Every structure is written in structure tokens, then in C-alpha cells.
Structure 1
């Protein structure tokens, strides 16, 4: 019996399953990297294809990482007020390191560093962590939750016929719904103009008929 042991085992030991989920999260974040000159560039940014059960199991971990990174954004913006833009090793930079601004910058940025270390602990990839904090988290500042979606694929996996699914970030590959354009009645004025002479002609004809009857 598996009392209070939630989650899918995925046919793996606990250590193997933990490593698998870490790799899936890192792979999803790394699709957002600048892969212009990369031989193994991702086909679609912000999307990975895996089995349905793996996608459902890794989704909470992805959401957790994005939430942690998003909560550190206000502290990073506060630290930018005391940051130094000079090159490292320059006289201005050395002067800044001995000033009170460096102390304020270090204190303001402490939560950001703690969040980055927490993400590295969760997924074990520094490059994916940097992409998460620099690119992905900024995208969901005004979104309260639901950063990913799971889309089931119709074609099963070749070999064992496993159900495949797409795990992707919301807002990157969303479908744009377009409403049908309403028909324009710009030519209706011309139809009315053409109808007036016909009505006038009918009136003249009726008047002529009346005169004939009187005669």
C-alpha cells in the first residue's frame, strides 16, 4: 500500500524519477535560449514533447519554478536603483564597491540570489535558471498562475504506443482566434439611388394612365 505517497512512480526509482523531472524542466526552459548558431536548436521555443504521464507529473514543478522566479522580480528592480553600470575593475566600479550603494544593492538583491539558488537546487541547471529569471519570469508578471498547458497528441509513440503530449508555456504559441468580418453595406447607397428613377418612372406612367381615362 502507498499510504500518503502521491504522484506517479513512472516505473523508476525515486532518484531516477527525480533526475527525470529535473531534466524535463531544464529542457523546457532551455528551448527559450538563443539557439541561432546551435546545431541542436529547438524546433519550437517554449515547447517539449514527452509522454502524457510525464507531462502531467512535471507540470507542477515547472509552475513552482516560475512562481519562485516571478516573486523575485520586485527585489531585482529595487536592486537596480543602486547598481553600477561601469565595467568591472574600473575606478568607478572600485569606488562603488566601497560605497554605501553597494551595501544597499547587496541587501536588496539577497532575495534574488536566494531564489536563484533554490531553482538551481530544484532543476540542477544554471543555464536554464538564468533563462528562467531573464526571459520567462518577466513574461508572467501580471499572470496569477497557469503558466503551462498539456496538449494530448493523437499519434502514439512509435515502439510502445505510449500516449504522447506537448508541454508548452502559455502565451508563447497561443492560437489567435479571429472573428469573421461583418459584411459591409457601403454599396447600399448606390442601390437606393438606382431605385429612385424607377419609382419616378412608375409615377409618371400612372399619371399618364389617369389622363387617358379622363380623356
Structure 2
């Protein structure tokens, strides 16, 4: 039983799986930078098509890389306070190199360098690494997670009829659902109740008088 064993084997051994995820992650990241007229350029930037199990395994692999790039960008901004704009090997740069500012810059930039090396160990692609730390880190700087999405496709793969899906970076081509506004409740003014007219006693009195007159007339006749 596979207790406490995470992930799918996908019909491959460990080294084959790592190589496959490395290549797929590099392909996904490199599609972000699309140049016009380049051969074999992707139709849609930041998207690749694969099978559903592979997409589910690739998603945490890529999101871990984006998280590294986001953390490195934070350390890079902190180190920029102690950096210099002087040209390398110039007298100003050599003076900065021997000052306390360089020591502070070195301590501040060390975590960013370590994160970049860890990401390169997972990608092994310089171009994909530059895109990851230069473009994707800036795009997802204010996003705490969920950098990719998986969309299942209706068309199955030719050959084995495997279920296909596309995995892409969020932030572009997002379909935002508009929330329905709650109906406005207006307090209606209370309806004015008209008082019912008081019953008049005049007809009853006249009827009583008529009946009294008839009784006197009959008494006289008797």
C-alpha cells in the first residue's frame, strides 16, 4: 500500500519524472516571452497542452518556482538600497566595494542569490530562469498563490484517447464573474386608513316615527 507516498508515477521512474517535469516547466515558462516571427512560437503565450495527470503534477512544481522568484524579488528590493550605479572596476565602484555599504548589500542579496540557484537546480534553463525572475516575479508580486490554472479540454489525445488539459499562468484572459447586486428594498410609506363614516340614525328615527303614527291611527279607528 502506498501510504504517505505523494504524487503519481506516470509510468516512469524517478529520474525520468524529474526530467519530464523540468522540461515541461521550462516549456511553460518560455512561452511567456513570445517573439513575432520566431519559428515554433506558441499560439497563446503562457500556455501548454498536456494530459490531465501530468498537468496536476506539474502545477505544484511550477508554483514552487514562482514562489521562489517572488521571495527573491523582495530580497532584491531590500539590497537595492545599498547598491551603487557606478560602472564596474571604476574608482567609485572600487570605493563602494571596500565600504560598509557593500557588506550590507552582500548580506541583503545573499537570500536572493540562494533562491536563484535553487530555482536553476530545478529548471536547468538560463532563459526560463531569466523569464521567471524578471517577468513572472513582477507579475505575481501581490498574489499569495494560485499562479496557474488547469482547464480540461473536450478533445482527447490522438492515439490513446487520453484526457487532455491546458495549464497556463493566470492574470491574462481571466473571465471575471460579476456578482449580482442585491435588490434594493424601499420602505413603503404606511397607507393612510380612512375612517369609516359613522352610521346615521336619522332613517331609524323616521322609521320609528312612521310606525308610531300608524299605531295612533289604528287606535283612533278602533
1:102 partner SS = helix
Tell me which moved more, 55-64 or 94-103. Answer: 94-103
Q: Distance in 2 between matches of 1:101 and 1:34?
A: 39
RMSD (CA atoms): 2.1
Per residue, is there more helix in 1 or in 2?
1
Q: Which has the larger radius of gyration?
A: 2
Q: Which residue of 1 aligns with 2:128?
A: 128
| TM-score, normalization by structure 2 | 0.74
- Alpha-carbon shift at residue 68 of structure 1 (Å): 1.8
Change beyond 3 A, Cα 1:40–1:141: same
Aligned pairs (5 A) from 1:19-168: 19-33=19-33, 35-36=35-36, 38-168=38-168
| TM-score, normalization by structure 1 | 0.76
Gaps of 5+ in 1: 180-215
Change beyond 3 A, Cα 1:96–1:35: farther
Alignment: residue pair count? 180
Larger relative contact order (CA 8 Å, sep ≥ 6): 1
Gaps of 5+ in 2: 180-222
- Alpha-carbon shift at residue 176 of structure 1 (Å): 5.1
1:28 partner SS = helix
2:168 partner SS = strand
